[in-house]
Amino acid sequence: MDRNTFTGLFLIMIILAGGVFFMKPSEAELKREQQVQDSIKNAGLKSAPAAKPAVTPVKTVDSTAVKGPFGANINGTEQTTVLENENFKITFTNLGGKIKSVELKNEKTYQKQPLILFDGNHNKFGLNLNIDGKVINTNNLYFTATTTNNGITMRANYSEDKYVDFIYNIPANSYNIDFNVNLNGFNQIIQGNNISLNWESTLLQQEKDAKKEREHSAPYFKYVEKTPDYLDLHKDEKKELTEGKIEWFSFKQHFFSAVLIPSVPFEKGDLEVKFTNEPGKIKWYGANMQLPFNQLAAQNYNFKFYFGTNKFSVLKGQGHEIEKQVDLGYWPLKYINRFVVLPVFNFLEGFNWGYGLIILVLTILLKLAMSPLTYKSYVSMAKMRVLKPEMDEIKAKVGEDNPTLLQQEYLKLYKQVGVNPIGGCLPMLLQLPFVMAFFFFFPNLFELRGESFLWMKDLSTYDNFINFGFNVPFIGDHLSLMCILMTISTLIYTYFNNQISGATGQMKYIGYIMPIIFLGVLNSYPSGLNYYYFLANMLTFLQQFLIRKMVNDDKIHAILQENKAKPKVEKKKSGFQARLEDYMRQQQQQANQKKKQ
C-alpha cells in the first residue's frame, strides 16, 4: 500500500468517526423517535375487527410525526380480511387497501380446484397521487381496515384530517362490488388536475387447454357511445385510449371476467397485455385510467366491480353492452348467433335437459328449418346427374380442346331443359352462414363449461380420448374421438354427395381433402362443436334418404325432356346472362383466331 492510499483511508476513517460522534441523537430525539415507531406499529399491526352491525370508526394516526406524505402508512405488516356472498369469496389486504384475490364459489378449475381469478402479489391496484413532485401509489401503503356486515373500509392517513378511504360494499346474491374512493383534504396538496388509477393482474389458468384459453382472453374496453373493443388476442400490445371517454374496461379471460365500471367515465387511459409462458398463468394485463381531480376538499369517485362468468345473459344484465365481450363471430354470424341460435338454445335450456340432448334438439330444429333449401339443392343436383349422359354426348361431339365452345353447348342444354347449373350450390351457400355461426357459438358458450356427455367430460374443450404423450405435427398431443367421428361422417357425406351430383375429376377428390384438413384444425376445438357437426352430417344423411324416396330420377328425366320439347319463348335476358354470353362469344372468337394462326 503506497503512502497516498494510506493517507486517504486514514482521512476517511477520521471523517466517519467524527460524523458518528457529532451526529449522535440526543436523549430527547431518541424518545421522540420511539414514539413514532410505536404509532407506526399500532397503525400497521393491529388486526381488523370482526364484522359488526355498524361501522366502527377508523383510528387515525398523526402522520406528521414521520417526515413525508403518508409517513405512518409506509411500513407495516400485511393482514387480510375475507368477505363473501352466495357467488364469490373476496380476500382484502391492508397492503394497498385492495382486493387481493377473488374466488368464484360456484365454479371449479379444470382440475376441480377452487376457481380463483387472481391472487397474491401478481395483482396490483391503487391510485397514483402526485404530491410534492413525487408520485405515490396507494398500492404500496398500509391501510387500516374496518369491517361491517357486508363491507369493509380501508383508510390511509396523510395527517389527522387528510386521508384516503377505499370503501367496498358487497350486495347479497350478486357478482358486483360497490367501490367508493374518498379523498379528504387533498385540495392544494395533490398537484395537477387528474390522478391515475392503476390496475395490474396476472390471469391464472382455469381451462384444460391453456393455448385456447390465451386465444380467447384479452383486455376489453368501451368508449362512450361506441361498440366495445379489445386488444390483440395473439401478441403483446399496449393501446392508448384517447378517442373518447372510457365507459368501462375489463380483464377478460375465456369464460370469466373482471370488469371495472366508473359512475363517471374515465377521461382517458391505456391498456396493455403481455403473454406469459409461466405454467399456470395465461396473460398479464395492465391498465392506467385518468380521473379528473377538481381540487375539492372532499373528492369522491364511485365504481362498480364485476367478478363473474362470461355467460351472455349474466353479462347483459350488467348493462353497458358488456355482453359483447362474448365473441359470437363476425357479421353476419354474430347476428345469427345472438338473435336466432342463442334464444333457441336458452329456450331448450329451460326444459332442464342435459346439454348433449339440447345440442341434438337444436341441430334437429336447424335442419328442419333448412329442409326446404336442402330439398331444392338435392333436386338441382339430381337434375344435373340425369343430364350427365347428354352432357357426355356433347363432350364427345365437341371435344375437350375447345372448353369455351363446350361450355356454350352445355349452357344451351341447360336452357333447353330449364336447369340452373348452380341451383344446387345456392341453397348450400345460404346454409353456410348457419354452419359457420356454430364455429363461434360453441367455443364461447359458457353453459357448456364442465358439462359432460357420454365419454366427453367437458363439452367446452376437446375430449382427449387418446393421449400420445408427445406432440404430433398437424394433430397435437392427443386425438379427439368426437373429432374422428365427425371426420368419418364428413367423408361418408362427401361420398354420397358425389354420387348425387355426379361430380367427376378434381372436384370429386377435393371434397375428400377438406375433412382431413378439418381433422387437424378441429382436433383441439370443443367436443360440443364436433358433436354438433357430427349430428348435422348424420341428419343430412337422413334427409337425403327421405328425399330420395320422394324424388324419382325417371320422373325428373321425363320432365326435363318435356321442357326440351316445349316451344321456347324468348325472355328478356338478365344483365348477368347477357354479359356471360358476350364473354363466351369473345372467348370463342379468340380461340378461332388462334386456330387460324
Sorting pLDDT into bands at 50, 70 and 90, what band is 49? very low
Q: Is residue 341 within 8 Å of residue 328, measured between CB atoms?
A: no
pLDDT over 70 for what percent of the chain? 81
Same domain, 281 and 339: no
Question: Which of 21-35, 270-284, 562-576 is the most confident on average?
Answer: 270-284
Check whether 576 has a pLDDT greater than 70: no
The whole-number average pLDDT for the span 438-446 is 95
Same domain, 123 and 251: yes
Q: Which residues pair with 385 in a beta bridge?
A: none
Same domain, 281 and 410: no
pLDDT in tens, 242-267: 999 999 999 999 999 999 999 999 99
The residue count for the chain: 597
Number of domain units in the chain: 2
Least confident range of 4-13, 299-308, 350-359: 4-13
Same domain, 302 and 342: no
* Pairwise pLDDT comparison (412 vs 88), residue with the higher score: 88
The alpha carbon of residue 550 and the mean position of all alpha carbons in its chain are separated, in whole angstroms, by 46
pLDDT in tens, 127-144: 999 988 889 999 999 999
User: Domain containing 481: what range?
Assistant: 334-565
Same domain, 424 and 518: yes
Residue 49: CATH number of its domain: 2.70.98.90
Least confident range of 224-233, 421-430, 568-577: 568-577
With left for phi above 0 and alpha for psi between -120 and 50, is residue 490 left, alpha or beta?
alpha
Check whether 373 has a pLDDT greater than 90: no
User: Does 576 reside within a domain?
Assistant: no
The whole-number average pLDDT for the span 109-121 is 92
- The whole-number pLDDT of residue 101 equals 95
pLDDT in tens, 141-157: 999 999 988 899 999 99
pLDDT in tens, 497-508: 777 665 666 666
- The whole-number pLDDT of residue 430 equals 81
Sorting pLDDT into bands at 50, 70 and 90, what band is 431? confident
Same domain, 267 and 367: no
Query: Which residues have C-beta within 8 Å of that of residue 71, sequence separation ≥ 6?
Result: 63, 64, 65
Q: What is the dihedral of CA 121, 125, 130, 134, to 10 degrees?
A: 0
Same domain, 442 and 315: no
Check whether 36 has a pLDDT greater than 70: no
HEC secondary structure over 38-76: HHHHHHHHCCCCCCCCCCCCCCCCCHHHCCCCCHHHCCC
The whole-number average pLDDT for the span 187-201 is 91
Check whether 569 has a pLDDT greater than 90: no
The whole-number average pLDDT for the span 518-544 is 92
**Phi (first) and psi of residue 454, to 5 degrees:** 55, -125
Check whether 209 has a pLDDT greater than 90: yes
pLDDT in tens, 151-175: 999 999 998 889 999 999 999 999 9
* Pairwise pLDDT comparison (201 vs 49), residue with the higher score: 201
User: Does 375 reside within a domain?
Assistant: yes
Same domain, 315 and 345: no
Least confident range of 106-110, 222-226, 235-239, 390-394: 390-394
User: Does 150 reside within a domain?
Assistant: yes
